[in-house]
Amino acid sequence: MKRILLAATTALAMVVAGATGVNAKELRWGFQTDTDSLDPHAHAVTFTIGFLGNVYEGLVRRDGDLKIKPALAESWTVSDDATVWRFNLRKGVKFSNGNDFTADDVLFSYKRMSDKDAQMKIALASIKEARKVGDHTVEFITHAPNPILTGRMNGFFIMDKEWSEANGATKVTVMAGDTQKVSPAGQIAMGTGPFVITERTAQVKTTLVPNKSWWGKASHNLTKVTMTPVKQDATRVAALLSGELDMAYPIPTQDINRVNSNNGTSVLVGPELRTIFVFMEQGGDKLFGTDTKNPFQDVRVRKALYHSINIEAIKKKIMRNLATPSAIMISPKLFDRAGDFNRYAYDPNMAKKLLSDAGYAGGLTARFDCPNDRYVNDEQICQAVTSMAAKVGIKLSLTAKPKAQYFKQVLDSKKRDYHVGLIGWTPGSFDSHNVVINLLASYNEKAKTGRYNLSNYSDARIDELTPMIQSESNKVKRDAMIAEVYKRVHDNVYFIPLHQQALAWGKRDNVALKQRGDNVFRFRYVTIN
C-alpha cells in the first residue's frame, strides 16, 4: 500500500518572516500577492503556474533560457504527420509522499486537467486521446497536426493518481463564479518537483524545503524557501532594503534607483514577455447591470477609446520608461512580423469625432474594473486611462481591487460582470497560437477556445484560422495567418494593447538567480553566497 502524506499547516501572523542574519541558505522571498490555490490545474495565472512549477512537474519544462527540455518524460517522438506523440517516462521518480510515478498518473492528470472547470484545460485542447502504452510510456493523439505540442505542455503538471483518489482530489478546484468548489489539492501540493511545501497559511506565509527524493540534480544550495505575500510596494521594498527579505518583486519603477543605491541590494531589469491590454465587453446588447445600450459594440467607440490613450505619457510618467508600447497582443520578440503593425495615434480630436459619428456627441458612461496588485503600476495605469478617456467624453467609473477578487469577477464566463477592464497575458508556449486560441478566438466550451476572450466578441475568420495556425508547419504560411488575425483584431479594435512591461526583481547582492522573460521564478537556479 502506498503511503499517504498530508502537508501540515501552521498558523502564522508575521507579515515578513524571519529576521536579519538567518541561515544564508534560507531564501526569504517577498511577492506582491499569494498564489490563489495549490491546485495545479485550477488557475491559468502566470504567478500560480510559476510558483507551483517548483513543486509540480510536467512531461517537459523550460530551462533558465526558456528552452524546452525533458522533465518527467526523458524523451519523446512524433509521427511524420505530427498527430501522434509518444513520451518515454522517466523511471524511478517518486512523488513527495513516496508514491511511484507511472503512466497512470499522466493519464489521470490529463483527464483531470481536461475537466470543464479546469482553467488550464486549454493547453490540452488539441489532444483527442491519451493512451497508456506501458507503465512508463504514453501517447497523445491530436485532432490535427500539432508541431508545437510540447511548447503548450509546459504547464501540464502531473498529480499523484492514488493520492488524489484517496483524498477526494479527483475534481479540480473552481476558481471563478459565485459558487467556488475547493478540492483538497487546493490546500495540499503533492508533486514530484525539486521542492516540497511544509507549511502554509494562505496570504501569510508558505514554507518550502528541497525534495530529498527529487530525481534531478540540484544546482541550488538552498535549505529552505519562505515566501511571504507583501501587497504594499513600500513595505516590500523596505523589507528588502533592511535585510528582512533576500529577494522581492516587483520593484516599482520609481524605487529602482533607491534599491540600486542601497548597500547590498540591486535590481535586475529585463524585458518581460507579458502584454498589458484593455478589454471591452462587446457581446451583450446592454452594458451589464444596466438598461443602457452597449456602446462598445460599435467599433467607432472602441477606436475612440484607443485614440484617447496617450501611451507615451504612460510610458514616461507611470512606467519610468520601463515599458515598450505595443500594437499587437504579443511581444514583438515572439513574432517576426510585429513590425507590420503600428498603434493608433494619440488623437483626442479624432476620438471626439468618432464618438460623435457613433451618436455619442454628449459622451458616454461605463464601468472600468482594474486590479491593483497584479501588474506593474496597474492601478496607476487605469487611473491614467480613466483621466485620458474623460477628456474626450468617455466617462469611466474606476473600481480597483485585489487580484483575487478581480479575477473571480472577470473570469466568470457565464456572467460578464464588467464593461471595461485591464489584464495582462504571457503566452505560455511563447507562440502566437497561444494568444489566438486563448484570447482572440470566440469562446467555445466544446472546442476549448476563447477562455480569456474577455472582450466577448466573435469573429468567424479568426475562428477559422485558429486550428489552421496550430497545424501549419510552414513558417511563412503560418506567419501570414497569424498576421491576418492580428490585423483583424487591430482593425476592429477588439482589444487595446498597451505595452510590454519590464521585469524588475530586487535582490541582495549575495543572491544569484535566473531572471526569465516569462516572469517565472525557479528556486532550483538560486545560490546564496
CATH of the domain at 226: 3.40.190.10
Tens-place pLDDT, residues 329-349: 999 999 999 999 999 999 999
Residues 143 and 158 in one domain: yes
pLDDT of residue 176: 61
Partner residues linked to 217 by β-bridges: none
Tens-place pLDDT, residues 150-166: 988 878 999 999 999 99
Q: What is the CATH number of the domain that holds 391?
A: 3.10.105.10
Classify residue 8: in a domain, yes or no: no
pLDDT of residue 12: 26
pLDDT tier for residue 117 given thresholds of 50, 70 and 90: confident
Residues 298 and 411 in one domain: yes
Q: DSSP class of residue 90? A: P
Residues 180-198 have a mean pLDDT of 90
Residues 220 and 298 in one domain: no
Pairing of strands 364-371, 323-325: unpaired
Residues 515 and 495 in one domain: no
Classify residue 455: in a domain, yes or no: yes
Tens-place pLDDT, residues 483-524: 999 999 999 999 999 999 989 999 999 999 999 999 999 999
Residues 516 and 494 in one domain: no
Residues 6+ apart with CB under 8 A from 168: 183, 184
The H-or-E segment that residue 69 falls in is strand 68-70
SS (H, E, C) 118-179: CHHHHHHCCEEEEEEEECCEEEEEECCCCCCHHHHHHHCCCCCHHHHHHCCCCCCCCCCCCC
φ, ψ (nearest 5 deg) of residue 82: 60, 35
Classify residue 258: in a domain, yes or no: no
Q: Cα separation of 252 and 258, whole Å?
A: 10
pLDDT of residue 446: 81
Residues 74-93 have a mean pLDDT of 96
Residues 320 and 208 in one domain: no
The model carries a pTM of: 0.77
Q: Cα separation of 306 and 347, whole Å?
A: 9
C-alpha cell at 207: 514554507
pLDDT of residue 14: 33
Residues 286 and 155 in one domain: no
b/e string for 502-527 if b means 16 or more Cβ within 10 A? bbbbbbbeebebbbbbbbbbbbbebe
Name the residue with cell 505542455.
Answer: 153
pLDDT tier for residue 113 given thresholds of 50, 70 and 90: very high
Classify residue 16: in a domain, yes or no: no
pLDDT of residue 177: 54
Q: Are 185 and 169 in contact (CB under 8 A)?
A: yes
Name the domain count of the chain: 2
pLDDT tier for residue 11 given thresholds of 50, 70 and 90: very low
Residues 241 and 294 in one domain: no
Q: Cα separation of 162 and 150, whole Å?
A: 26
b/e string for 135-150 if b means 16 or more Cβ within 10 A? ebebbbebeebbebbb
φ, ψ (nearest 5 deg) of residue 30: -115, 130
Residues 472 and 521 in one domain: no
pLDDT of residue 9: 29
Three-state secondary-structure class, residue 384 = helix
Domain span at 415: 272-502
- Backbone Cα Rg of the chain: 23
pLDDT at 54 over 70: yes
Amino acid at 373: D
Residues 205 and 324 in one domain: no
pLDDT of residue 193: 97
